[in-house]
Structure 1
Amino acid sequence: MAPKKAVAKAGRDGAKPQQSAGRKTGGTTSNGEKPANKRKKASNADVPQKAPRRSGRGESKTQPSQEQLLRYMLSKNTEELCRPDEESEDIQSRGDIKTYSSDVMNPFEELLSAVILSRPISHRLGLRTIRTIFNDPYNFTSAKAVQQAGQEKHHQAVWDARTQHKAKTAEEIGQIANVILEKFTTSADKDGTQLQKLLDDSGNDVDKALDTLKASIKGLGETGIKIFLRRIQWLWSSGYPYIDDRTMHSLGKLGLPEDAEELEGLIAKHWSKFDKKRLAGDDEAARKRRAFVTVLERAVGADLEGKVDNVLAAAGEKP
């Protein structure tokens, strides 16, 4: 069963619903996924929250207001605190390259990324692999591009990424492209980037679409489905708003609502205060969904990089 949007309903197995948590998973992956836990619903009052414990010396600083925090997290300034240092160094060295942490990706790229990040490797290695396959000289940005590249290039790409499980990852990249081209492309999407046929064939039912995708893609498990939905929901609006269990944990550390509808409402409440120039989306509704996804991704990134305190401190500084 696919993850449920907003507050999850009882599953088909009769289990009690998890609050915006989706499926239960075991272990920890490169994206930091952990088993789902019931959590208390966060307060929706837009006031400074109690600051989290700090391991460093000195007194703890006051937590910024939720408005301050969201405004900072939606600004370009926060990008460096939500990615590995080696990614920042790679950007400085190579210039304008596509990264998972800050670029808008098409549905095929999101799917490939979700499978890579759900493998039992570090967050750093997962992001390095994504940067390698989506940029020169490989540019595996569509199912057609992957298929045309051939197996030898698939293997060379993951070898250049210096990642783990190279053979397995290279095999999965090729298999995913083949499945997308065989099952989920249309005459309007011959390159296989949008996966719109998957959603259309499911009657715009995101849960059904995700179940079909999971059954069709070898290597795409529960954790990968959660990562994919977390990122794709701004485009697949029938799956919005959704927060997976791992991201709830990160939002809690920042003092932001862990409930999907509360966070959606908080963003809407302060929408006029945000810098929206860099937000993708064809209309305001889409840009709000994109803002929601951006906050989720940056919360997880800051948490995985151990920079939650840095984000809080920077958000609380006077402009």
Structure 2
Amino acid sequence: MSPTTRKNPRDRTEKAVAQALLDRQEATYLAQAGVRLRNTPGPLYQALVLAMLFSARIKADIAVAAARALFEAGLRTAQSMAKASWQQRVDALGEGGYRRYDERTATMLGEGAELLLERYGGDLRKLREEDDPKKALREIPGLGPTGVDIFLRAVQTIWPEFAPYVDRKAQDGARRLGLPTSPDRLATLVSRRELARFTDGLVHAALDKPLADDVLAEAKPA
């Protein structure tokens, strides 16, 4: 039996698991927050805000709800976030259920918006042009290494120089599902346009064992 023949069943199994996961993760976390991602200042900033909210030890659905509440309050750009009062930011976060970290996060959102305005005119496409965009992202208040991973995972379909972007939490999900952890290997299981949704799904699997078990059961041949 040739090496190619030996690996085909495993490849089919991995692709079946990936598809079952995509069926469960119908939209990216960013889409769930009401954002249609494009390479324009507003959606990119909204992706950054969601990454900041996810950086705290808080449930994913609460982070998504808080992001949606901020955006529905009109805080969709660095300009509007900086212009809003601290109390307005606190109130919007509270509306989304993000109460444990609302005051500190409201402060960091304001400081981060001011920094983006000062350095890039509020346009993250200019940050992308930096020699080291990841380093520049880490300098934004409230966006440590984890937040940078979350942001780049979200935007990898429109900033392809970072794709495939599979952070440690997504790799944890891949292990739980019996998938390879190599970003390049994982990228072969889905189309390029599905990478962000797929990696979001891997994170979901890392955080939710029953979901991972359901995915594996669904992917198992009858």
* TM-score of the aligned structures, taking structure 1 as reference length: 0.58
1:139 is matched with 74
**Residue 222 (str. 1) matches residue 142 (str. 2):** no
Aligned pairs for 1:170-181 within 5 A: 170-181=106-117
CA root-mean-square deviation: 2.9
1:65 is matched with 13
1:175 shift after superposition: 1.6
Q: Deviations over 1:240-296 (max 9, x none)?
A: 2221112111011112221011122333xxx5xxxxxxxxxxxxxxxx1x3122111
Q: Distance in 2 between matches of 1:212 and 1:81?
A: 28
Aligned pairs for 1:46-195 within 5 A: 46-48=8-10, 65-75=13-23, 78-79=24-25, 99-100=32-33, 104-105=36-37, 106-134=43-71, 136=72, 138-163=73-98, 164-185=100-121, 192=122, 194-195=123-124
**Residue 210 (str. 1) matches residue 172 (str. 2):** no
**Residue 310 (str. 1) matches residue 219 (str. 2):** no
Gaps in structure 1 of 5+ consecutive residues: 1-43, 50-63, 84-96, 186-191, 272-287
When residues 124 and 212 of structure 1 are mapped into structure 2, their CA distance, relative to the original with a 3 A threshold, is same
How many residues of Structure 1 are paired with residues of Structure 2 in the alignment? 210
Aligned pairs for 1:236-315 within 5 A: 236-267=159-190, 288=192, 290-306=193-209, 307-315=211-219
* TM-score of the aligned structures, taking structure 2 as reference length: 0.80
Letter of the 1:69 partner, please give it. V
When residues 310 and 129 of structure 1 are mapped into structure 2, their CA distance, relative to the original with a 3 A threshold, is same
Identical positions, percent: 25
Aligned pairs for 1:5-16 within 5 A: none
1:98 shift after superposition: 5.3
